[in-house]
Amino acid sequence: MKVKILRKRPTEDKQYWEEFIYEGSPDISVAGMLDELNYKDDIMNAEGGSVPRIAWECSCLQGMCGGCAMVINGKPALACETFVRDLGDEITLKPLSKFPVINDLVIDRGIIHENALKVNNYIQEYKESPAKEHAHQYSAARCLKCGLCLEVCPNYIKGDRFYGALFANDCYLIATRSDVYNKDIKKDYDKHFAAGCSKSLACVEVCPMKIPTLSSMAKLNR
């Protein structure tokens, strides 16, 4: 099976395509396949040339850390949850397009944290929240900060103004736990989310944790 990867060396700016041949089982995830290509004594491209090992962000290999979000055959997804058997005869892998590329498939998602920091996105004075909020709080706190919701969002460009679904969920977590109903959080939510969201809901569909962002929005819009 042919695997085409959009690559980049850490010290250079230019991206380039490189092809590999994968001959293992199709019942493996794309993450597992990348591991197999990488962890041999030598790594060779389809032409038999010796090349640098493929860089991709990986920690858990089982859908718990969000590191391996990438564009697989045109579709943004976690590599560890996408199986080779479902991908046809050829696989193309690209880094997420809305973040600076560091190295091959490794991207810099620093903007997610920087934006949250910019608007003081944390609990001010803790207040116990009613039990009926717990299920949704639990769900929102499962966010991997993988960036898939930003990648598919038609409104998210570079994160300089519109911060995306993951920000809305964090706002919800804070608003339901802060002692004084936090006007600032509501203001930031309006400015950096509500004002820019065209409700395509692509974020809900792509989310590997299936976070019901719509529900966060409903609670914050109240």
Partner 1 sequence: MTTKEIMEESTNSTNNNNKTVLVVGSGIAGMTTAISLAERGIKSILVSPFVSERAQSVMAAGGINAALDNMGEGDSIEQHIDDTLKGGCMIAGKDAVTGLCSNAPDIIKWLEKLGVVFTLNKKGEIDQRAFGGQTCRRTCYCGTSTGKQIVSALVMECRRYEAAGLIERRLWNDFHSGLIKDGKCYGALLFNEAFASLEAVYADAVVMATGGQNALFGKTTGSTQCDGYAAGRLFMQGAALKNLEFIQYHPTTIETKQKRMLVSEAARGEGGRLYYEEGGKRVYFMEDRFGSRGNLMPRDIVSRCMEETGKDIFLDVTQLGADVIDARLPEVRDLCLKYAGLDIKKESIPVKPSVHFFMGGLAVDEKHETSIEDLYAVGECASRYHGANRLGGNSLLAAIYSGKTAAKSIDEKKIVADQDQTDKGQAEVEAFFGKYIQKESEKIVKDFSSESRFPVMYIRDMVAEIMNTDLGIVRDEGSLQKGISDLDYYIDISSRIKYDSSVLEYFNYSLPAILNLAKATLLSAKERRESRGAHIRSDHPETSGDFAASSVISYNDGNFDITYDMEGRFEH
> What residues make contact with partner 1 under the rule CB under 8 A?
10-11, 25, 27-29, 31-32, 35, 38-43, 50-53, 55, 57-67, 80-81, 102-103, 108-110, 113, 116-117, 120-124, 126, 131, 134, 137-138, 141-146, 170, 173-174, 177
Of 131 and 222, which CB lies nearer to partner 1 in the complex structure?
A: 131
Distances 47 to 9, 19, 222 between C-alpha atoms, Å: 19, 8, 59
Minimum gap (Å) between residue 88 Cβ and partner 1: 19
58: three-class secondary structure by DSSP:
coil
Of 92 and 129, which CB lies nearer to partner 1 in the complex structure?
A: 129
Q: Six-digit token pair at 147?
A: 């960036």
Pairing of strands 2-8, 90-94: parallel
Task: Give all strands (DSSP E) within 79-213, no chain letters.
Answer: 90-94, 101-103, 106-107
Minimum gap (Å) between residue 109 Cβ and partner 1: 7
Of 204 and 211, which CB lies nearer to partner 1 in the complex structure?
A: 211
Nearest to 175 by CA among 145, 217, 112: 217
Minimum gap (Å) between residue 199 Cβ and partner 1: 25
Minimum gap (Å) between residue 55 Cβ and partner 1: 7
Of 116 and 204, which CB lies nearer to partner 1 in the complex structure?
A: 116
166: three-class secondary structure by DSSP:
helix
50: three-class secondary structure by DSSP:
strand
**Ramachandran assignment for 84, one of left (phi > 0), alpha (psi -120 to 50 degrees), beta (any other):** alpha
Minimum gap (Å) between residue 92 Cβ and partner 1: 20
Minimum gap (Å) between residue 6 Cβ and partner 1: 18
165-175 helix and 110-118 helix, angle to the nearest 10 degrees: 40
Of 6 and 78, which CB lies nearer to partner 1 in the complex structure?
A: 78
Of 65 and 194, which CB lies nearer to partner 1 in the complex structure?
A: 65
Q: Six-digit token pair at 46?
A: 């389809």
* Pairwise CA distance, residues 124 & 93, whole Å: 41
